[in-house]
Amino acid sequence: MLPSFGSIGPFTLYSFGLMAALAIIVSGVFLAIDLRQRGYDPSSSLEIVFAGGIGGFIGARLYYVAEHWGEPGQGLFSGSGLVWYGGVAGGVIGVIFIATWKRIPLGVMANAVAAPLALAYVIGRIGCQLAGDGDYGSATSLPWGMSYPDGMVPTTEIVHPTPVYESIAMLVVFWVLWRFRGRLTAGWSLFGLYLVLAGVERLLVEFVRATPVTFAGMTTAQVISVVLILIGIPLVWRGIRGGSAETRPPPAPA
């Protein structure tokens, strides 16, 4: 584990924070490429990833605090603690604000951010693995199981390295989305595929994560995953059925 990369003066370089920053930068690069290919100003990617990152961080933190309300040391401004679903909700709000400001149709924006979102998640989970922040799974005897004795949430038990599982799975998801971005352009179809694939990934990994069951034999993350899958399927279906083509920006004046 490598919770931090050391200190520069009074500042500690935490591995998760650095990977989160890297996720924003790398996803912004791919978003700029995608926007350019769709005929939109690639420089808008800077505002988009900034708004999505800030909104995502706030949403992830608020969701975590709500889940752990009343627990010792879990106030709004205490320590670490982020939840992906809260981050998605906060990030969506931030991106909608920028899309409206930049006059980019929401369907175009949703499809453009699908693959970069998956890639950002890959890098973020690498940060979780380096930090050992408690996102690991349940005990296992599999040969690739590992312990996190020096993590931010340490354990000496051999457990499933679920951040590694998720990084690998979401890297595949990113590859699929990037390959299909020129085919699924109708409505919110590519974003719908992201919801389906990301939902399936989280639904499955929760079976080996150390997460309490909350409803109908499922964890909260699994319930939300099912909802995302059900939302995503009709969006993808519309794209496959040949819905209306993606809106293109008006040509720049000569």
Instruction: Give tens-digit pLDDT for 113-170.
Output: 899 989 988 998 888 888 887 788 889 999 999 998 888 788 889 999 999 999 999 9
Give the tokens for residue 94. Answer: 């931030």
Q: Identify the residue with better confidence: 134 or 74.
A: 134
Closest CA to 112 of 19, 59, 170, 180: 180
Is residue 39 very low, low, confident or very high in pLDDT (cuts 50, 70, 90)? confident
End-to-end CA distance of the chain: 56
Report the pLDDT value the prediction gives residue 253, as an integer from 0 to 100. Answer: 38
The share of the chain scoring above pLDDT 90, in percent, equals 29
> Which of 3-12, 86-95, 178-187, 223-232 is predicted with the least confidence, judged by mean pLDDT?
3-12
Is residue 48 very low, low, confident or very high in pLDDT (cuts 50, 70, 90)? confident
Query: What average pLDDT score do residues 190-212 get?
Result: 91
Q: Identify the residue with better confidence: 194 or 253.
A: 194
- CA 177/CA 208 separation, integer angstroms: 26
Q: Identify the residue with better confidence: 189 or 58.
A: 189
- pTM score, whole prediction: 0.81
Name the burial class of residue 26, with classes exposed (0-12), middle (13-18) and buried (19+) by CB atoms within 10 angstroms of its CB. middle
Half-sphere exposure of residue 89: CA atoms within 13 angstroms, side-chain side: 14
The angle, 0 to 180 degrees and rounded to 10, between the axes of the packed helices 189-205 and 106-131 is: 30
> Which of 38-42, 77-81, 209-213 is predicted with the least confidence, judged by mean pLDDT?
77-81
Query: What average pLDDT score do residues 165-180 get?
Result: 95
Is residue 61 very low, low, confident or very high in pLDDT (cuts 50, 70, 90)? low
Report the pLDDT value the prediction gives residue 115, as an integer from 0 to 100. Answer: 93
Half-sphere exposure of residue 128: CA atoms within 13 angstroms, side-chain side: 21
Per-domain residue ranges of the chain:
12-177
Report the pLDDT value the prediction gives residue 84, as an integer from 0 to 100. Answer: 59
